Amino acid sequence: MAFSVRKARLSDAQEIASIHVKSWDSAFEGLMPERYINSYTLEDRNSEWLKVLESGSESVIIVENKSRLVGFLSYSESEDSLGTLVLSKLYLCPSIYGKGVGYLLMKELESKAKAEGIELISLYVLDNNQAAINFYSKHGFEFGDGCQSEEFEGETIIDVLMEKRLLA
């Protein structure tokens, strides 16, 4: 399979939203309450991605295969820590898992970070999502000192900080 990487355009919003919802359903099944997962609809995600792409609040990179979007990530510079990029989302079509698309996205992110003089990439990952933790660990991320939590219908959803220091 031939994959190409490029910056997302406004016209990609609907495909990004679709991947986001499908991947969210697949990746978090059994890890978070089903009603929480289902509360993020295609309509909501489409609106979210239109706003992100229109405002430029995050940089969005996509991967295509034969002009079909198969994965994306979004990131921004940290407002709190100079020299840090925050990876906010990385989602792939479930049918493409294990085909190297996540690797391509991470390679592109690191290349952009290094070109901008970034020293650290940080992200939050669901504490019980071992597949994602393994993926990020394989790419050089380590657990940092931080977490975020949210209550949903009596259950606590916890995201833990992972960081990767980039060498100059």
Q: Where are the domains of the chain?
A: 4-165
Does the pLDDT value for residue 45 go beyond 70? yes
* Longest distance between any two alpha carbons in the chain, whole Å: 45
What band does 81 get if pLDDT is binned at 50, 70 and 90? confident
Q: In the prediction, which pLDDT does 168 show?
A: 57
Provide the CATH number for the domain formed by 4-165 in this structure. 3.40.630.30
pTM equals 0.92
Helix axes of 13-28 and 42-55: crossing angle, nearest 10 degrees: 130
Q: DSSP strand E in the chain: where?
A: 4-7, 59-65, 68-77, 84-92, 120-126, 142-152, 155-165
Query: pLDDT tens across 99-130, in order?
Result: 999 999 999 999 999 999 999 999 999 999 99
- Whether the CA torsion 36, 38, 39, 42 is positive or negative: it is positive
What band does 82 get if pLDDT is binned at 50, 70 and 90? confident
Closest CA to 27 of 164, 144, 122, 134: 134
| Percentage of the chain modeled with pLDDT above 70 | 99
68: three-class secondary structure by DSSP: strand
**Do 92 and 69 contact (CB within 8 A), yes or no?**
no
